[in-house]
Amino acid sequence: MAVSFKVNRPITIDQFTRLLESSTLGERRPIHDRECMEGMISNSNLIVSAWDGALLVGIARSVTDFHYACYLSDLAVHKSYQKSGIGKRLQSLTQEQLGPLCKLILIAAPAANSYYGQIGYTHNDRCWVLEPGVTIGN
């Protein structure tokens, strides 16, 4: 298996959808909402991808200002390629694109919650999420 890594190589909605399905992250992403999937891909400004030939086998999809904050929205590796270092490499390459003060921020999927602490992330219990449809109140 010779996997190559690319920064901001174009990815189609179908490639993205198939990868999410094959990694199990598809259960937690709107893979049947094509407009949303298209928006996720086209409005990301940092996508690191892993390829086995023409097959997309991993992705780290982020939205970032490159200086202060980078939100790593989707990290996924094809099931047949997991636990061989691809996830870590996708994150290292993401970090390499960022300035020295820029933090990587993410929300872990339940099945991956113990993954991030062991590779260097700090758990932050002051992270807050405003769910869609919830109006700001007091």
Q: How many residues bind ligand COA (CB under 6 A)?
A: 20
The strands making up 4-7's β-sheet, listed across from edge to edge, are 4-7, 46-52, 55-64, 69-77, 103-105
Q: Is residue 77 within the footprint of ligand COA (CB under 6 A)?
A: yes
CB of 74 vs ligand COA, minimal distance in Å? 7
Is 60 strand, coil or helix? strand
The alpha carbon dihedral of 45, 41, 60, 124 has a sign of: positive
Site for ligand COA in 29-68 (CB under 6 A): none
Q: Which of 12, 65, 88, 99 forms a contact with ligand COA (CB under 6 A)?
A: 88
Strands 69-77 and 103-105: parallel
Site residues (vs ligand COA, CB under 6 A): 23-25, 75-77, 82-88, 106, 108-109, 111-112, 114-115
